Structure 1
């Protein structure tokens, strides 16, 4: 298992946890926490520490997700070659010739009067 794969799995797990933490929070309208018993879960703790914990965990998970995404960029295996782009070829000539434009050898010109038969 490569390092990038490990980072990818961690990113997916943290993103899933972040979604769950955001969905559990109690917004003005109630949120999912009200569906599972509402304020009873917060009263069970006795204080409003649940909202503080959810707020801190949201910021922590969001920061962790951002850091994992940035660090995973370092773990990408780019190979030993310098430039692997197929659009850029160092051996190719710098300019390419333009395609030939077909020329017409017809010297007769049609006028509007010629096309109208009276």
Structure 2
């Protein structure tokens, strides 16, 4: 089952979960209170138990489908981005290393005696 199949299954489970929650009455009456006493055929007194169990089951199925859908998602390392489109190109980032300055050359220089006026006389 591909990612699209998981999305369809998650949507169906969500709608069923919404229906199961909307049928329940928050104060405990729910669907079973609208049918009257326990004399009814078909076991209407067990309706609240069924709705409670189906809500928990659908919630568990929904969590499992969401976790399994991450395994089917294959969009994490591909270059075909759906957000940018195919016509957008991203220029490569270029960095230039700073030029290192040359160290001054240390030559052995000899100093000649400086002639001064007094020494010249």
Q: Return the TM-score normalized by structure 2.
A: 0.55
Cα displacement (A) at 1:42: 6.7
User: Structure 1 regions of 5+ residues with no counterpart?
Assistant: 96-118
Residues 57 and 71 of structure 1, relative CA distance in 2, 3 Å threshold: same
Matching residue of 2:72: 75
In structure 2, the gaps of 5 or more residues are: 85-89, 97-121
1:3 pairs with 2:2: yes
TM-score (norm 1): 0.56
Task: Give 1:27's aligned residue.
Answer: 26
Query: Would you say how many aligned residue pairs link Structure 1 and Structure 2?
Result: 89
CA distance in 2, matches of 1:62, 1:76: 21
Give per-residue Cα distances to partners, 1:7-41, cap 9 Å, x unaligned.
0000000000000000111321755x37xx81339
In the alignment, the residues of structure 2 paired with residue 61 and residue 93 of structure 1 have an alpha-carbon distance, to the nearest angstrom, of 52
In structure 1, the partner of 2:56 is 59
Question: Counterparts in 2 of 1:85-96, with a 5 A limit?
Answer: 92-93=93-94
- Aligned partners of 1:21 and 1:54 also within 8 Å: yes
Q: Is the 8 A contact 1:21 1:58 kept in 2?
A: yes
Over residues 39-74 of structure 1, what are the superposed CA-to-partner deviations in whole Å (9 max), with x where a residue is unaligned?
A: 339753346311111100000000100110111111
| Aligned position for 1:40 | 36
RMSD: 3.6
